[in-house]
Amino acid sequence: MSVLVVGLSHRTAPIDLLEQVALDADAGHRLASRLRGGGHVDEALVLSTCNRLEVVVEAGTFHGALEEIGAALGELSGLTREQLTDHLFVHYDERAVAHLFELACGLDSMAVGESQVLGQLRQSLAAAQRNGHLGSSLNPLLQQALRVGKRAHAETGIDDVSRSLVTLGLDRARGVLDDLGAARTVVIGAGAMSGLAVATLVREGVGDIAVVNRTAARAERLASQHGVRTLPWSDLTSAVGSADLVITCTGAVGHVLDEPAVARARSDAGRTGAPAVLLDLAMPRDIDPAVSRLRGVHLWGLADLQDPSPEADPDDPAETGPVAAVRGLVTSEVAGYLAERHAARLGPTLAALRTSAARVVDAEMSRLDQRLPHLPHDERAEVRQTVQRVVDKLLHTPTTRVKQLQAGYDEVPADYAHALRELFDLDSREVASVSTPPLGVVEKATGTRAEGSSDD
């Protein structure tokens, strides 16, 4: 059994495709129920937001679960498998754990470091718990992801990353534009980063702000919150040509603006050579870097607005400052979680092994009593101690190996526990009895119904 994450996001799919696969709460419930009703998925959670759709499952078989998820997504969205396949990402087991932790910390968001996704993940977890879609595997994993996300926002400066990027960009713009307050400004996109940009511009006293977004309703919603205007998507190029300041952060996979289009628009507006600042806050980039070759145009992206440390790659904004600190936190938390999971999987097998060994010792001592009924008590005790020492020595290596796993010192094949059961002929039911406490014990310890137990 392994964790599998399959989905689409702003990193892999265009916004129009994401809109087609977006699911409301009822549709998410139906998707999870359908997957659990198949033969390859035991637990499932669906996370659907404006820029991502992710399905998290505990998979009995990798290929079987992947097939079922792909078919279900195609049926619910009305898209063909070919339309989906090119844009799907797949994370399995350890990489799936790392992805969920990164997601909760805001590292996978359009506006890096934003905390909205943490609340969205919490809501999805609560819904999956209510609907009985989670059990002993995904429930603790997702709870841990939430804890990691909270740590990231509490212990690092990740909350300031998005704000500092916009502020740094405007500081640079002041060095080019005579009067930032009077700058004709266009904000492309209506997501978290765009909302932050509009709020910052209004706070800085910029008076002429227009929001442009593919989905007009989202642009209107953002604009109404800050008292600014909107423009239709069809006017994007002409608006950029007339603008003094452009800030863009969309979910587009390719470039929204290229050099020929910007050059033509500036020429049509009579602004060829006039100073203009373009701030590209998207990842991947919205603006073709070649635009910076145009006379009068100053183009700065995420890498330009970061303050890299000496060890960081200056071309990779994800490896500097608070983001690097969060990545370090995620790495540590993933290692700790995997070590605990290894120990949890192997511990019951080892306990069953010791129980089996104890029965062997008892059986042999019983045979000795039958053959030598008059053996003195002290000699019998010495014989038993000798036999027990032999058994302990034989079990020493498996025990040490498990401790190494728990400490995260080493990696072993995933079928290590299975190999122990086969080699020592352990009853799988006995192993399960060690690892699964009675329901009443769980309820008494937690005060709630055990997660994953349901009436259906």
Contact 269, 235 (CB under 8 A): no
SS3 letters for 159-195?
HHHHHHHHHHHHHHHHCCCCCHHHCEEEEECCCHHHH
Give the ranges where 259-376 is alpha helix by DSSP (H). 259-268, 302-305, 321-371
Catalytic residue among 50, 100, 287, 450: 50
Tokens encoding 39: 């033969």
Contact 424, 345 (CB under 8 A): no
- Can 105 be counted among the known catalytic residues? no
Amino acid, single-letter form, for residue 354 = R
The dihedral over CA atoms of 174, 180, 183, 187, expressed in degrees to the nearest 10, equals 80
200 SS3 class: helix
Cβ burial of 340 (10 Å; 0-12, 13-18, 19+) is middle
Please tell me the distance from the alpha carbon of residue 26 to that of residue 3, in angstroms, as a whole number.
23
Amino acid, single-letter form, for residue 69 = I
Please tell me the distance from the alpha carbon of residue 102 to that of residue 54, in angstroms, as a whole number.
14
86 SS3 class: coil
- Please identify which residue in the block is written with the tokens 């070759």: 293
Per residue in 18-48, is it b (16+ CB within 10 Å) or e — as a string? bebbbbeeeebbebbebbbebebbbbbbbbb
Tokens encoding 135: 């059990």
Strand-by-strand arrangement of the 297-301 sheet: 229-231, 208-212, 184-188, 245-248, 276-280, 297-301
Residue 90: beta bridge partners?
6
Q: Which residues are catalytic?
A: 50
